[in-house]
Amino acid sequence: MASVAVNPGRVHQALTSYQLAQAVKGAIELDLFTHICAGAVTPAQIAPLCGGTEKGVRVLCDYLTVHGFLAKSGETYAVAEDVAPLLDKNSPKYMGSVAHFFTHPVMIAKYDDVAGLVRRGGAEDHTLSPNEHMWVEFARNMAPMFALPASKVAPLVTKPGDRAKVLDVAAGHGYFGIHLAQYNPQAEVTYQDWENVLEVARENTAKFGVAERARFLPGSFFDVEVGSGYDLVLLPNFLHHFDYPTNVKLLKKVFGALVKKSGARFLLQGTILTDVEETVAGVKRQHNVLEQ
């Protein structure tokens, strides 16, 4: 049996990965990538634009070069081609705002005691309280990350001209319902979320020209009367917040809201619980749902 060389570098990389996250966040806050894409390519040129020192800029740029975000030639830097459109504020594909949510203290604190979480079997999610402001930050900062998947989903669940009464659960930024409404001019979408979060969805429906076919339903999905007769229910990034019994309750309400005919469907997207397939199958059998 061949011996395998140990790799302490992997352990080091894993345990210091927070440094890279914070370095990228710092560079985004300094507009470092934007300045370089605009032509300021040396520390001397970049420093006055971001209010930093030449040494500070050089150290950060060298660190980002080691990790592949920048490339260096002599004293000049360039943003790596595969991330430049995503980190340049002047690009229509810019998604730098996601750094503010991913590195939010509440998000980081969830991982402070993973061993304890394992021993306890998880932890209570304190971000689910009514009108929690963190989800407003999520809706504003994370929207660019979901534009592409939302645009890809729309043609999979509707067709232009088809009747489509849609419920977007925990809609947040509203991008999934918005892209569906843009793709199908006959679609009418109800966006459901906390009232403060729905303000972001309202802004976005107006921005993307679908406000006339939008209605808004504030409150907890578990408590509000959502109505019935929906052709499609969207569940983006929601089920992973809850345990098995709660998701059974949630899905029963979803199936109860769907129109009672073949072709009614719902869409799950995002990180979801381990037992979701079993949960969905069981609830579908109870409600005699013909198509997912």
DSSP 127: G
H/E stretch holding 179? helix 175-183
Amino acid 284 reads: K
Angstrom distance (rounded) from CA 80 to CA 243? 41
Amino acid 274 reads: T
* 153 neighbors 180 (Cβ within 8 angstroms): yes
Q: Which long-range contacts (CB under 8 A, 24 or more apart) does 140-143 make?
A: 140/97, 140/173, 140/200, 141/97, 141/98, 141/99, 141/100, 141/101, 142/97, 142/98, 142/101, 142/172, 142/173, 143/97, 143/172, 143/173, 143/175, 143/200, 143/204
> 157: which 2 tokens?
């669940």
Angle, CA of 64, 72 and 87, to the nearest 5°? 50
Measure Cα distances from 29 to 33, 217, 272 in Å: 10, 35, 31
The candidate with the shortest Cα–Cα distance to 176, out of 101, 234, 94, 251, is 234
Tell me the pLDDT of the chain (292 aa) as tens digits.
678 899 999 999 999 999 999 999 999 999 999 999 999 999 999 999 999 999 999 999 999 999 999 999 999 999 999 999 999 999 999 999 999 999 998 889 888 999 998 898 876 766 777 788 888 988 998 888 898 889 999 999 899 998 899 999 999 999 999 999 999 999 999 999 999 999 999 999 999 999 999 999 999 999 999 999 999 999 988 888 888 888 889 989 998 898 776 666 767 665 544 444 555 555 555 544 434 3
Contacts for 252 with CB less than 8 Å, ≥ 6 apart: 283, 286, 287
The residue written with tokens 């929601």 in the block is 238
Residue-wise pLDDT for 15-61, tens only, equals: 999 999 999 999 999 999 999 999 999 999 999 999 999 999 999 99
